[in-house]
Amino acid sequence: MTQSRTHNCNELRLSDAGKKVTLVGWFENIRKVSKNLGFLILRDFYGTTQVVIETEEMMAIIDGINKESTISVTGEVRERSSKNTELATGEIEVVPESIEILSKCRYNALPFEINQSKDADENTRLKYRYLDLRNPAVKSKIVLRSKIVAELRQKMNELGFMEITTPILTCSSPEGARDYLVPARNHPGKFYALPQAPQQFKQILMASGFDRYFQIAPCFRDEDARADRSPGEFYQLDMEMAFATQEDVFAVIEEVLPPVFEKYGVYTNASRAPFVRIPYLEAMDKYGSDKPDLRIDLVLQDATEVMADCGFGPFEGNVVKAIVVDEFTATRKVIDKICADVEIATANKAYWFKLDENGELVGGISKFLQDRKDAVVSALGLKPGDFVGLTAGKLLAAQKTAGVYRKLLGAASEKHMKQNAYEFCWIVDFPMYEIGEESGELEFCHNPFSMPQGGMDALCSQEPLSILAYQYDLVCNGVELSSGAIRNHDPEIMIKAFELVGLGEEDVKAKFPAMYNAFCYGAPPHGGIAPGVDRMIMLICGEESIREIIPFPMNKNAMDIMMGAPAAVEQKQLDDVHIAIVMPEE
């Protein structure tokens, strides 16, 4: 027995016929046949059961309430004359002797039909999320999320990792995104920050003598929303290992994730250890992306030399990248749509031509290539029927544009995209430094706490842009699940690494005092990673939007329209924390 019910709405079977039972749940719907006959669907968390109304007295009770009211039904289980084999409880029905109204729905009309809530406008769904979550198709994603998180915990525990929670109120730290700041009431003019990640705390744990740490960590970043990124807060499987190499970290992830993806995923196959390792520069050159979708077997080729001086303006003085697709039978309309989508995604144009069955160059920019047909065919290894997509620009722009083009061409060609699979890979050997797009100056490429390959010698003797880091990304089906690194645990190497971006020893001590001082007492080599839980579950569920697998997500404008956040607060609350609001001029 569970609370006031004897069974849940997915539990009764033909073997229960003749039993007196009590069910509770939501009044989902009723199909009336006459004034004293109707078939009511009762729904709870677990499923549905049919209740047969056979008296005017019972019909009067139901007529007096709206759908989605909660009720308690006590009655006898009997075999259904018309069975529903698609329903777990489809062989039985309950004939009520009493119906009690537990809570009335006070609205005659719902904002959407519960079982069709996914068809409603997203903001309407989020405003009435408590109704949206009653939809079994929506609820199932949240149930699955709970199971996946529990399994991740179990696997990490089995591998000897200890779950340790780290502070939510901490100091502001340069993690690459905007902080959420919290004013400190007892310290006027000073602020806590919500952690963008437990980065410093987990490294300090390693310096404290803990060997293997993990947590399902809440992280807070003031970022704009995307399909694969929720604004405000998200969760990650945060882990760190002492006395660990890059391969040690990889081995843990390669053991933990594939079984979870295969067990719960919409696809039944997942990469086995070891995952493919692809150096960053190779990934950009071969796939046009540092998060390549390896389900697609297409690769980029360099066509700069063979396209030089062909008379096509966009190619002049630029790098040209080509993607060759054999047996590509798409119509001109489809090709034009793909090219338009590339331009929307990258702000750069995409070009094309074909080698037809007669061995002639046709379509797209083919007229510019007729005088060098043999050279083009030879350089790109073309066969009759091949389609060639082309991009042009400075090296990085040409690569990134080709990367988007490759992904769209792969999705449009079943032959070149593996189905029913999760393809993992590691992107390794990231540059330690880059020239900032906005500053034009040397900056850290990824995590400033990464160990440079070659250590102090590399920092002292190599050109900064040539230095590689023990930095890696985990990618699955073209989605970046996480960045990670072997950390810089040596204070002297740390200071030198920061000096190259214009920050001295005093700056390091001021920005990271606890971690710097902890390392001065002897720290182990250590490394870790933190795959995004929300993104993993989005992939496992096969959803396009990350908001579908979060219980109470914000909308695209980082607003919780169900709770009304963000919201204004009273002046007294502002006074307590010494805050004055200065609105921007319109």
Q: Are residues 410 and 476 in the same domain?
A: no
Answer yes or no: is 20 within a domain.
Answer: yes
Q: Find the CATH number of the domain harbouring 31.
A: 2.40.50.140
Q: Is the pLDDT of residue 2 over 70?
A: no
Backbone angles phi and psi of 427, in degrees to 5: -100, 120
Q: What is the CATH number of the domain that holds 236?
A: 3.30.930.10
pLDDT at 515 over 60: yes
Is residue 457, in this structure, part of any structural domain at all?
Answer: yes
Among 417, 440, 470, the domain boundary falls at 417
Please count the other Cβ atoms lying within 10 Å of the Cβ belonging to residue 381. Answer: 10
More confident residue, 544 or 389: 389
Domain count of the chain?
A: 3
Statement to judge: residues 459 and 511 lie in one domain: yes
Contact yes or no for 22/77 (Cβ under 8 A): no
Residue 257 belongs to some domain of the structure: yes
**Predicted confidence band at 223 (pLDDT cuts at 50, 70, 90)?**
confident
Which band of pLDDT confidence, cut at 50, 70 and 90, is reported for residue 4? confident
Mapping DSSP onto H, E and C, the string for 85-125 reads CCCCCCCEEEEEEEEEEEECCCCCCCCCCHHHHHHCCHHHH
The predicted pLDDT at position 3 comes to 63
Residue where a domain terminates, one of 394, 417, 440: 417
* Domain shared by 410 and 458, yes or no: no
Contacts of 48 (CB under 8 A, 6+ apart): 9, 10, 28, 41, 42, 87, 89
pLDDT tens for 528-548 read 999 999 999 999 999 989 999
User: Which pTM value belongs to this model?
Assistant: 0.91
DSSP class of residue 179?
Answer: P
Q: Are residues 451 and 353 in the same domain?
A: no
Mean pLDDT over 15-44 rounds to: 96
pLDDT at 175: 59
What CATH number has the domain bearing residue 363? 3.30.1360.30
Residues 454, 505 share a domain:
yes
Instruction: Among 379, 397, 417, give the residue marking a domain's end.
Output: 417
Cβ proximity of 170 and 181 under 8 Å:
no
Pair (223, 332) in one structural domain: no
Domain span at 205: 138-161+196-271+424-553
Q: Are 167 and 563 in contact (CB under 8 A)?
A: no
